[in-house]
Amino acid sequence: MATKKLETGNGGETHQTTSDDGDRLTTNQGIPVSDNQNQLKAGARGPVLLEDFVLREKIFHFDHERIPERIVHARGSAAHGFFESYEDLSDITRADLFSEKGKRTPLFTRFSTVAGGAGSVDTPRDVRGFAVKFYTQEGNWDLVGNNIPVFFIQDAIKFPDLIHSVKMEADKGYPQAASAHDTFWDFISLMPESTHMIMWAMSDRTIPRSLRTMEGFGIHTFRMVNAKGKSTFVKFHWKPKQGVASTCWDEAVKIAGADPDFQRRDLFEAIDRGDFPEWELGIQAFDEAFADSLPFDVLDPTKIIPEEVLPVRLIGRMVLDRYPDNFFAETEQVAYCPANVVPGIDFTNDPLLQGRLFSYLDTQLKRLGSTNFHQLPINAAKCPVMNFQRDGHMQMAVPKGRANYEPNSLSEAGEEGGPRECPAKGFTTFPGRDAEDEQGDKLRIRPESFADHYSQARMFFRSLAVPEQAHLASAIVFELSKVGLEHVRVRMMSNLVNVDPDLAKRVANGLAMPLPKASPSAAPVQDLDPSPALRIIEGPFDLATIKGRSIGVLIADGTDAVALKALTGAIAGGGARAVIVAPKVGGAKLSDGSVQKADLQLAGGPSVLFDAVVVLVSDKGCAALLGEAAATQFVMDAFGHCKAIAHSPEAQPLLDKAGVVPDAGVVAADKAFVEAAGKRYWDREPKVRMLA
């Protein structure tokens, strides 16, 4: 058998090859595959060709691997709502939902994790899906994205490999909903194009505090086309009005045990109490000349346009105001497809997007069992649907007349002839090309403009606040510590040297391994300007407010009734929710003899469920809590997770036992706490845990 080796492809990707015919990669028909890294395109930056049978077979088989659960994004939570346009955008798009200021369009939005099954937990370290179905007057538009603006791969032919690597290992069936294992990091370390996404995946972005505090992105470069046929490139952004907030890793792990449905519950309860989640939709709009001026290719889905280079223009808002009536009928059966666009929205030759346009429709057929899945109420358009598609499994429409073909002349005989094409208002594909070399040889190749895999990864890391950099480095250390293959750890660290030598050194120190040399780079690594917009901590959406948050208030027998009423009133006045926690769910007897019922029992209401905490107890109540481990843990975790802690003077012995050291986030239980509770105290973190 010939010796296997590693080779670097034309796009800088690294993959294994062999000269042994017995090990050669083939299709399911036994046809040898010459290139498993790139789709067949018309020219280096051209569109993907339908004749690529290797791609079609690979994606087709991948789409049908699981039934009936989604292969990816299986665990999701969703809500109904509406989109309201801020202005008339007719100058850049003919899309109906943007045609006038104040126009409202109904929608259904589903948030999801990627790797775990439907029965996994809400809070793993994972990318979150962010998919919006707009029910416009000209049909459904599905904007199917993530809470991260880039992706792991540049070409859709690699998607099955990516997901196979991150899913449960094939022989063991674990770990579930986790990337901290050999196969994922083996794949990632061999795919330098994934480096930028790994920076995001190991950052706090993948452990969000709630679904309401996530940004959303369309990832790809799309087109908007106006009535005159003029095209404008666009990237889509969702900006949460609630701010962007994340957990720390220890907190996310404990939330998973305390409440596996934490984020699903948070979304439901926010809507239920009328605190409707809201996002603003923004676009980065640009032309071909601007695209050409950038130091990267806008068709590369592993790249972003920094907001400091091209600001985001806010064009509307999304409000989620109604929870599904039935989880299965709506959240489970909703079928998103990036190919669902309306007149005025169009595609580009992004090779990841092009593959997605094929994959999703095929997936829905397997999951929902019928080509008529679009007739399910949650998927059905809210405008007239008229065509000659007939029959099929689970057909729910009852077409009348004998016309089931077009063209026909039955109307000349007085019969119903059916609908006709509409050149004036129908969808027309933008005829222009993404690049001059679109018409070219049939090639499996990446353009050279896709070859820089490290510059934006470096920019992302250097844009983060100091605590976020420490979290990212520590996350990589944790993940690689679960990798048993030492050569994979070494190879990954070699890639990180290209990103930032200090980051690589921190990871090496965290693993107690020597720092290797940098891996070969297919393109020079550039020092791009940092982008402060990428930060969560001290970033543009780090809102110092308790509005929409939950505050845990720990009480016990003897708690001062007047102080409790004043404090909960102040919390409500700040737009937050006070959650009463007591040793027993029946409540506690207050100082005035009244009984305050609890929302949660102490053992079932740990502080990880809250954004800040209050310990409001008497001497007697504190003495009782000192013998309760859950009370000590309640305070200890709040302090360790850098949250604000308010307390009555009588609670001091409990704080001492929990190891609380006074700082700016440890305050008296009075109205001033409302201001202190609006943020986390990250400067406390190095004192409570070791960070890379």
Note the pLDDT tens digit of each residue in 43-70.
Answer: 999 999 888 888 888 887 788 776 578 8
What is the β-pairing status of strands 345-346 and 139-146?
Answer: unpaired
Return the number of other C-beta atoms located less than 10 Å from residue 31's C-beta. Answer: 12
Q: What's the pTM?
A: 0.91
Give the confidence band of 674 by pLDDT, cuts at 50, 70, 90: very high
Is 453 tagged catalytic? no
Res. 568: pLDDT tops 70: yes
Res. 244: pLDDT tops 80: yes
Mean pLDDT value across residues 3-29: 56
Residue 199: partners with Cβ closer than 8 Å, 6 or more residues away: 457, 460, 461, 472, 499
Can you tell me the distance from the alpha carbon of 478 to that of 467, in angstroms, rounded to the nearest whole number?
16
Is 471 tagged catalytic? no
Res. 437: pLDDT tops 80: no
Return the number of other C-beta atoms located less than 10 Å from residue 487's C-beta. Answer: 10
Residue with the larger pLDDT of the pair 151 and 391: 151
Note the pLDDT tens digit of each residue in 501-548.
Answer: 999 999 999 999 999 999 999 999 999 999 999 999 999 999 999 999
Note the pLDDT tens digit of each residue in 403-412.
Answer: 888 898 998 8
- Per DSSP, the three-state class of 182 is helix
Res. 2: pLDDT tops 50: no
What pLDDT, on a 0 to 100 scale, did the predictor assign at position 51?
Answer: 82
State what percent of residues in the chain have pLDDT above 70. Answer: 96
Note the pLDDT tens digit of each residue in 616-658.
Answer: 999 999 999 999 999 999 999 999 999 999 999 999 999 999 9
497: enclosing H helix or E strand: helix 486-499
Res. 3: pLDDT tops 80: no
Mean pLDDT value across residues 473-492: 98
Can you tell me the distance from the alpha carbon of 493 to that of 185, in angstroms, rounded to the nearest whole number?
11
What pLDDT, on a 0 to 100 scale, did the predictor assign at position 526?
Answer: 96
Can you tell me the distance from the alpha carbon of 562 to that of 671, in angstroms, rounded to the nearest whole number?
13
Give the confidence band of 500 by pLDDT, cuts at 50, 70, 90: very high
Omega before residue 68 within 30° of 0, cis: yes
Cβ distance 419 to 335 under 8 Å? no
Total residue length of the chain = 692
Mean pLDDT value across residues 663-692: 94
Res. 311: pLDDT tops 60: yes
Give the confidence band of 8 by pLDDT, cuts at 50, 70, 90: very low
What pLDDT, on a 0 to 100 scale, did the predictor assign at position 632?
Answer: 98
- Per DSSP, the three-state class of 142 is strand
Cβ distance 552 to 605 under 8 Å? yes
Find the range with the poorest average confidence among 159-173, 278-292, 415-429, 644-658: 415-429
Give the confidence band of 388 by pLDDT, cuts at 50, 70, 90: confident
Can you tell me the distance from the alpha carbon of 38 to that of 497, in angstroms, rounded to the nearest whole number?
26
| Order of all β-strands in the sheet with 577-582 | 600-601, 577-582, 550-554, 612-615, 645-647, 666-668
- Return the residue matching tokens 């000192």: 626
Mean pLDDT value across residues 141-157: 97
Nearest to 441 by CA among 55, 50, 40, 52: 40
- Per DSSP, the three-state class of 652 is helix
Note the pLDDT tens digit of each residue in 156-192.
Answer: 999 999 999 999 999 999 999 999 999 999 999 999 9
- State the catalytic residue, choosing from 10, 38, 73, 220: 73
- Return the residue matching tokens 């009244």: 594
- Per DSSP, the three-state class of 283 is strand
Give the confidence band of 78 by pLDDT, cuts at 50, 70, 90: very high
* Domain span(s) for CATH 3.40.50.880 in the chain: 550-687
Can you tell me the distance from the alpha carbon of 49 to that of 47, in angstroms, rounded to the nearest whole number?
6
Report residue 400: phi and psi, to 5°: -110, 155
Give the confidence band of 34 by pLDDT, cuts at 50, 70, 90: confident
Cβ distance 196 to 456 under 8 Å? yes
The DSSP letter of residue 253 is H
Give the confidence band of 221 by pLDDT, cuts at 50, 70, 90: very high
Mean pLDDT value across residues 342-353: 95
* Domain span(s) for CATH 2.40.180.10 in the chain: 62-164+214-241+248-367
What pLDDT, on a 0 to 100 scale, did the predictor assign at position 56?
Answer: 87
Displacement of CA 692 from its chain's centroid (Å): 25
- State the catalytic residue, choosing from 38, 146, 379, 498: 146
CATH class name, domain 62-164+214-241+248-367? mainly beta
Can you tell me the distance from the alpha carbon of 491 to that of 512, in angstroms, rounded to the nearest whole number?
15
Cβ distance 579 to 612 under 8 Å? no
State what percent of residues in the chain have pLDDT above 90. Answer: 79
What is the β-pairing status of strands 216-217 and 231-240?
Answer: antiparallel
Res. 10: pLDDT tops 50: no
DSSP-derived secondary structure for 53-91: HHHHHHHHHHHTSSSSS-SSS-SEEEEEEEEEESS--TT
Distances (CA, A) of 470 to 248, 352, 404, 535, 683: 11, 31, 63, 13, 12
What pLDDT, on a 0 to 100 scale, did the predictor assign at position 565?
Answer: 96
Can you tell me the distance from the alpha carbon of 165 to that of 167, in angstroms, rounded to the nearest whole number?
6
Can you tell me the distance from the alpha carbon of 112 to that of 99, in angstroms, rounded to the nearest whole number?
30
Mean pLDDT value across residues 200-220: 98
Res. 257: pLDDT tops 90: yes
Q: Report the chain's mean pLDDT, rounded to a whole number.
A: 93
Res. 4: pLDDT tops 70: no
Res. 26: pLDDT tops 90: no
Of the candidate CATH numbers 3.90.280.10, 3.30.70.1400, 3.40.50.880, 1.10.940.10, the domain formed by 550-687 belongs to 3.40.50.880
